[in-house]
Structure 1
């Protein structure tokens, strides 16, 4: 969900292409005061950078498992949990994201959709808006000691899930089971930026991710979801996992 978090502030020399910030065929950015130092406080001008090339849009092309009942959600989570338990890896990253209805009059609604992507072949979409409580298998999965939920501004999603479902131990998950891809990118790439998913996808993957406001601000609480909603939601979780894995490969290279 992209109502959380600030727009990425990316050094202009690192922009590879246009992103969602493009206006009139130009990219308009503000450098972070942390990057520019005292000069930024005196002259925080908007830089205009011409895009170098057009990038292709990234889409999830695997199987989408849409679970819209308590039983189906529990079954999907149990399936993923069993796969986690079988893995010999110390850490099992899972692309994680939420969607919820949003109104400028009333603000954020209750969590409607939970997206889970553990590999590139399948993404689980759990429609939880009508549920009074989360399936036990989902909670067990999210607090599993090997699981790391990965995504941009991931902790904000976890806190929201805890606010909407009181039985969910959000603090425990935030402390033990979250890796923010933006923070990871800064540490791995020696940057100090505030990333959105769209800009991190451009910077790391050299792809563009759709943030079509008609879909992003759509009625996520209404069942069934449209094909466009399913594709958008699955792509967010898939890209979260892809970003983490790409950054981890880079971190491994730096360490060798």
Structure 2
């Protein structure tokens, strides 16, 4: 993580910064906000009844004691409440200090490479040809080549009206390039079909089984060589199986925030030309899939306990 670290009770903890709330406040409190909060707290503390022993001590000690007590109150007021300090714990994701403050602010994940946008049949065919050449080179040194894979379509908000066909397919094979293919206008050329049906080209994504089923329904193409990141993560992480999505995996394994704004996710993917926001959203999803596959692959294999009891039973002589 890029956070500065501090030591507390021998444990290295990330320094507390700001929070992401359920209402997704994007900016930390300003100095003016902090002064207003302190003023409210100060009025509350001044109006609060003091214990008898405190007031007596203040009268006996005079103005210096009053100033000292005020300074101590100010010092106490600046300490983080326990619910916020708890977020510094390494297992902060399992804690629920309050409904609004559910997790620490994390850096937003974005694809920083070049987005290759293709919307006509000829453009998609050319993009698939370039992609196949790159993958053929990689096949010489790799048994299976992972591709971050995802699709988008126009949702339906009316009962009885089915959603649109797969409108966009995004494919990412590294940090430098990501292809966004506007299939609703181009269809699927033969060379793209060959890529999708090649079992040696691994397509990875969260819930990718549903994506491949939709591609088959809409275009009658069976995508081969797929791996679900959720299943892959559960196998490596152990414990109870969890239904991981891209965003939850990015937070868990990469300490990154993968934003999913509804106005883009549920927007019109059948538009004549995709917007910059749609292109960035699509490319980032495919890149996140590719990046998470690499992260999960690098996790240690789960340890399998040997069945010592059965081996010991075999050593016992039969009566």
Residues 97-134 of structure 1: CA deviation (Å, up to 9, x unaligned): 00100022134211110000011100000001024x41
3-state DSSP of counterpart to 1:250:
coil
1:206 corresponds in structure 2 to 255
Output aligned runs, 1:122-137, within 5 Å: 122-131=177-186, 133-137=187-191
Match 2:146 to one of 93, 105, 125: 93
1:236 corresponds in structure 2 to 285
3-state DSSP of counterpart to 1:77:
helix
1:157 aligns with 2:211: yes
2:227 corresponds in structure 1 to 179
Distance 1:99 1:127, change over 3 A: same
Residues 48-102 of structure 1: CA deviation (Å, up to 9, x unaligned): 7133521011000100000010111011111111111111200100000001000
1:81 aligns with 2:132: yes
The number of aligned residues is 211
Q: CA RMSD in A?
A: 2.5
Q: Is the 8 A contact 1:19 1:208 kept in 2?
A: no
Distance 1:190 1:107, change over 3 A: same
TM-score (norm. length: structure 1) = 0.76
Unaligned runs of 5+ in 1: 1-16, 27-46
Residues 32-61 of structure 1: CA deviation (Å, up to 9, x unaligned): xxxxxxxxxxxxxxx971335210110001
1:226 corresponds in structure 2 to 275
Residues 142-172 of structure 1: CA deviation (Å, up to 9, x unaligned): 1223211001001111110111112x124xx
Q: Is the 8 A contact 1:182 1:195 kept in 2?
A: yes
Unaligned runs of 5+ in 2: 1-17, 26-82, 84-93, 305-319
Distance 1:70 1:214, change over 3 A: same
Higher relative contact order (CA 8 A, sep 6+): 1
Distance 1:18 1:107, change over 3 A: farther
